[in-house]
Amino acid sequence: MKNFRGQCHCGAIAFDYSTALPPGDWPIRACQCAFCRAHDALSTSDTAGTLIFTATVPDYLQRYRFAMKTADFLLCRNCGVYIGAVIDTANGCFGIINTHALETTPVDIAAVAAMNYDQEDKSGRVSRREDRWTPVQQSPDKD
């Protein structure tokens, strides 16, 4: 497993993403929803990896839920950067990272695939995230 660290611009919220996948094999997804397009988010995850989110300045952590309200999208209230998202389900906590928040973007990172999830219902969305997102070992406390 190799660890990749990321954070918002001011460093108040961060993540440690561990994966055995080489960056060239990462599934890089560009969701086409308005939120992800506005943040130019490129998400990735590894079902065999681990993810830890931390908030060194907890007051700067903003959790945002939209649409079906199935996941918390983590943003910094101070600098505005979106670092990733988490979902808590009966099967555990899972997350994704925004690759644009990585401290160092790997030079050999995979190509981006445009994704559209508009046709999913709520249970389908939760199920997809449980199947594709990274297990979260630690998530910042909720507001």
Helix (H, G, I), strand (E, B) or coil at 35: helix
Residues 18-56: tens digit of each pLDDT: 999 999 999 999 999 999 999 999 999 999 999 999 999
Residue 78 has, within 13 A of its CA and on its CB side, a CA count of 14
Q: Residue 142: what pLDDT?
A: 57
Please tell me the total count of domains within the chain.
1
Name the residue range of residue 57's domain: 2-138
In a domain, 71, yes or no: yes
In a domain, 143, yes or no: no
In a domain, 121, yes or no: yes
In a domain, 108, yes or no: yes
In a domain, 7, yes or no: yes
CATH of the domain at 22: 2.170.150.70
Q: The whole model's pTM is what?
A: 0.94
Helix (H, G, I), strand (E, B) or coil at 67: coil
Residue 25 has, within 13 A of its CA and on its CB side, a CA count of 5
In a domain, 118, yes or no: yes
Residues 83-130: tens digit of each pLDDT: 999 999 999 999 999 999 999 999 899 999 999 999 999 999 999 999
In a domain, 36, yes or no: yes
Other residues' Cβ atoms within 10 Å of the Cβ of residue 36: 20
CA dihedral 90, 93, 97, 101 (to 10 degrees): 140
